[in-house]
Amino acid sequence: MAIKYSEKVIEHFQNPHNVGKIENPDAEATEGSPACGDQLSVYLKVDPESHKIKDIKFQSYGCASNIATASIITDLAMNKTIEDAKKITWKQAADALGGLPPIKMHCSVLAVDALRSAIKEYEKKKLGKRFDEGLNKKNIEKQLNKIIYGKIGVDIISLRLVKYIGVDEKNNILIEITLKKDDPFLSDVKDEIKERLHTFPNIGKIKISLV
């Protein structure tokens, strides 16, 4: 079945804005999408006084939707302070493109992820900020928040599909989700939960139960 894209998606895919690499960037980050394996790099130049993004570029190894969302996200972030740029969501990016097909929403998650990682890199490198990246419920929820249920195109936290998150003293994790056994998107969701949680160091076993 052919996927239908909005005119804006096609426009940004055919003529993406801010493509390329910045030499000597203040920060850069590459993120991969556990949903599809594609990658996106974002480069930033930030004004040290105002903390406004003075230049932003991207290189995408992803699909048309990813190129289009990366293009619109760099437009949205340009000249914003890093605090404001951090608040750009994948939903806003998708809306600014006139919508994305549900099955392609994870492509805009990848674009926002890469932007936020580049900003985080800037904050670590240039502002000496430290982040709590430990294995706890809050950080697990942040990861699950990026997993899109492809049937509807909304993340599994907002859809309230995650009923329980547990971590024991050996860092074993139990996640309970409400999806039917025969849901065609179940294995994608499970695989992505595992991939995202394996980014935590010293993680134990991951159990995903259906409730």
Which residues are identified as catalytic? 36, 107
Q: Does 62 bind ligand FES (CB under 6 A)?
A: yes
Residue selected from 28, 29, 33, 197 as contacting ligand FES according to rule CB under 6 A: 33
Q: Does 16 bind ligand FES (CB under 6 A)?
A: no
Residues near ligand FES (CB under 6 A), total: 9
3-class state of residue 145 by DSSP: coil
Which pairs from 1-7 meet CB under 8 Å and 24+ separation? Answer: 3/101, 3/103, 3/104, 4/101, 5/64, 5/65, 5/68, 5/100, 5/101, 6/97, 6/98, 6/99, 6/100, 7/98
Residue selected from 19, 63, 78, 174 as contacting ligand FES according to rule CB under 6 A: 63
Residues β-bridged to residue 129:
none
Q: Which residues, numbered 79-108, are part of the site for ligand FES (CB under 6 A)?
A: 107
Q: Does 71 bind ligand FES (CB under 6 A)?
A: no
What is d(CA 137, CA 151) in angstroms, rounded to the nearest whole number?
Answer: 26
Q: How many other CB atoms are found less than 10 A from the CB of residue 84?
A: 14
Q: Does 191 bind ligand FES (CB under 6 A)?
A: no
Q: Does 66 bind ligand FES (CB under 6 A)?
A: yes
Whichever of 38 and 191 has its CB closer to ligand FES, that residue is 38
Footprint on this chain of ligand FES (rule: CB under 6 A):
33, 36, 38, 62-63, 65-66, 107, 110
